[in-house]
Copies of this chain bind each other. A is one copy, B any other.
Amino acid sequence: MGNFKLKNRLTPEAYIEGVLAGDRVILSRAITIIESNLESDKSIARAIIQAILPKSGNSIRIGITGVPGVGKSTFIETFGKHLVAEGNKVAILSIDPSSQRSRGSILGDKTRMEELANLKEAYIRPSASGATLGGVANKTGETMLLCEAAGYNVILIETVGVGQSETAVHGMTDFFLLLMLAGAGDELQGIKKGIMEMADMVVINKADGDNVALSKIAKRQYQNALHIFPMPNSGWSPIVSTASSIKNIGINTVWERIQEFKKLVDTNGYFVKNRKEQQIQWMYTTINEELKQLFYGSDKIANQIKELETAILNSKISPVNAAQRIVEEYKKGF
């Protein structure tokens, strides 16, 4: 089976040429290489990334989050179509470490955004699968570089909105959009305060019908909440607006605001500065992730650590002593 799979592989050069020519089929196959865990694919992946790197980066990268039920898919469908109508090529990616992707859910993702998926200026790719958030985020980050090299100038990266993946998305995007609902109880919203902190814009979605009045109240509340906090480094004051994805109301406003943001951060130098910092940070995050894999990936460590947890809970050893003991053993056994 492994060999059969490998026979379907192209040469690195074929992937590189195809991606740079904007060939969607080759792009998809190249992303499959990036997502692959086969050792033989990893070297092809490195060669592809290495070659397309100088052609990447020419886009605005937009992170989009919100809890399930907030209407993310419908928002992205309407927003994506608007972006295409404005002359953009749009790639829609996602980070969801919980997803065990199957053919079913790929179809599912495309069905959710049926009209957008049928536009040749839009490219939809669901989340990579993987054991760790770091691994999944790396794959999405490299997929983003491929999409840029293939000519997509707006990248939307969606998250599931309930975990740590928002931080990863924030770390690889230029603009962070948080979708909220009016009138939902605080707990229903499920959005952590730390996520509010990252938002450049909050959009109260489903602001239609009976919801219009409530949405206006929510808008004011969120605006007050955001104003209590200090100005972000970008120099951009986070804003709140209302939208109806179903009725296509307020969607153009979102894109206008993002363009205003882009103009501001191009002028004040934040855009380039932030991109550079993100790249360096990306290296460090990956290093730290790999160091942890090396350590926690060992069966011997995994067994010992369970024992130490029990010892700590029974006050038999202090957390610091436990940590130092196991790292010392690790050093010996390397």
Q: Interface segment, A21-29, A95-103, A310-318?
A: A310-318
Whether B50 lies near A318 (C-beta < 8 A) is: yes
Q: Say yes or no for A252: interface residue by CB 8 A criterion.
A: no
Task: Decide if B292 touches A288 in the complex (CB within 8 Å).
Answer: yes
In the complex formed, the residue of B with least CB distance to A189 is: B230
A193 at the B interface (CB under 8 A): yes
Contact of A142 among B189, B288, B318 (CB under 8 A): B318
Contact of A222 among B192, B228, B231 (CB under 8 A): B228
Give a binary string over A315-334; 1 marks a CB under 8 Å from any B CB, 0 the rest.
11111111110110001001
List which A293-318 residues lie within 8 A (CB) of chain B. Answer: 294-295, 308-309, 312-313, 315-318
Asked if A287 is at the interface (CB within 8 A of a chain B CB), the reply is: yes
Known: A50-B318, A193-B194, A197-B194. A221 touches B228 (CB 8 A): yes
- Docked-complex contact B230 and A187, CB < 8 angstroms: yes
Q: Which of A46, A191, A287 neighbours the largest number of chain B CB atoms within 10 Å of its CB?
A: A287
- Say whether A196 faces chain B, with CB atoms less than 8 Å apart: yes
A189 — which chain B residues lie within 8 A by C-beta? 230
Q: Is A227 an interface residue (CB 8 A)?
A: yes
With a cutoff of 8 Å between Cβ atoms, the chain B residues found around residue A292 in the complex are 288, 291
Residue A259 is within 8 A (CB to CB) of chain B in the complex: no
Q: Which of A3-11, A105-113, A277-285 contacts B (4 or more CB under 8 A)?
A: A277-285
Contact A224–B225 (Cβ < 8 Å): yes
Q: Which of A151-194 contact B (CB under 8 A)?
A: 186-187, 189-194
Instruction: Report yes or no: B186 in contact with A229, Cβ–Cβ below 8 A.
Output: yes
Whether B224 contacts A224 by the Cβ 8 Å rule is yes
Q: Is A54 close to B, CB under 8 A?
A: yes
User: Which partner residue on chain B sits nearest A172 by CB separation?
Assistant: B319
Instruction: Pick the contact of A283: B57, B186, B315, B322 (CB < 8 A).
Output: B322
Indicate with 1 or 0, residue by residue over A119-144, a CB within 8 angstroms of chain B CB atoms: 00000000000000000001001100
**A334 contact set on B, CB distance < 8 A:** 334
Q: Which of B50, B187, B288, B312 contacts A231 (CB 8 A)?
A: B187
Chain A, 222-241, contact with B by CB distance < 8 Å: what is the 0/1 string? 10110111110000000000
Which of A193, A289, A321 lies at the interface centre, i.e. has the most chain B CB atoms within 10 A of its CB? A193
Q: Is A290 a contact partner of B230 (Cβ separation < 8 A)?
A: no
Residues on the B chain within 8 Å of A326, using CB: 287
Q: Is the CB of A313 within 8 A of B228?
A: no
Residue of B nearest to A46 (CB): B321
A283 adjacent to B49 (CB under 8 Å): no
Q: Which residues of B contact A316 (CB under 8 A)?
A: 53
- Asked whether any CB of chain B lies closer than 8 Å to the CB of A145, the reply is yes
User: A287-B327, A288-B288 are known contacts; what are 11 more A-B pairs with Cβ within 8 Å?
Assistant: A49-B318, A49-B321, A50-B321, A192-B197, A194-B197, A225-B225, A280-B309, A283-B323, A284-B323, A286-B323, A289-B323
Can you name 17 A-B residue pairings with CB atoms under 8 Å?
A53-B317, A141-B319, A141-B320, A186-B227, A192-B229, A192-B230, A193-B193, A193-B196, A280-B312, A282-B320, A283-B312, A286-B319, A287-B295, A287-B323, A288-B292, A291-B291, A291-B327
